[in-house]
Amino acid sequence: MANQDIANKRESYARKYPLFSQCGLNCGLCPRYHTQGVSKCPGCGGVATGTHEFVTHCGVNSCANRHGGVEYCCQCGEYPCKKYYDSENIKDSFITKQHQLADFQKVKDIGLAAYQAELKEKVGILERLLADFNDGRRKNFFCLAVNLLELADIRDVMTRIKV
């Protein structure tokens, strides 16, 4: 794929908030998002600079465009669709994928802006953990813990640790 084609695809799918993907993954809490160097992922619809050429166009984006350009799957009139029907029983190695439905339900319960505020706080906590406690072997653990635990529990842990 030519560099101009990659740039055009990237621009057509740039998102205002790349830390939360259209399909419900918390990109801002993923180890690849917090990687330094060429394998760093810019998040869902984020613009990669100085990294591998990420083509951030995906089937979920195409589906969202076919359904009126919804920003997130949970805003679609057909949600949950076949992509999510059996997601609680899917055994995927990407553990955070198991929380897509719960995270979308939270968006519906508290609103998108409040969910994004919580995610932003979690990203900040994760960045602090990575900066202060990661000895090079704990990034995946911290990313999973912050992603899967409730914010109140993470806040409690943070008040108990010495920094």
Statement: the pTM of the whole predicted model exceeds 0.75: yes
Check if the beta carbon of residue 48 is closer than 8 Å to that of residue 10: yes
Between 86 and 9, the more confident residue is 86
110-155 pLDDT, tens per residue?
Answer: 999 999 999 999 999 999 999 999 988 899 999 999 999 999 999 9
Contact partners, residue 101, CB within 8 Å, separation at least 6: 24, 80, 84, 87, 88
For the chain, the C-alpha Rg in angstroms (whole number) is: 17
pLDDT digit string, tens, across residues 61-79: 888 889 998 999 999 999 9
Determine contact, residues 77/67, Cβ cutoff 8 Å: yes
Confirm if 51 and 40 have CB atoms less than 8 A apart.
yes
Note the pLDDT tens digit of each residue in 99-113.
Answer: 888 899 999 999 999
Torsion of CA 30, 48, 50, 119, to 10 degrees: -30
Close Cβ partners of 53 (under 8 Å, ≥ 6 residues apart): 1, 3, 6
- CB-CB contact of 96 with 105 (8 Å): no
Measure the CA angle with vertex 95, ends 91 and 100; round to 5°: 90
Chain-centre distance for alpha carbon 126: 13
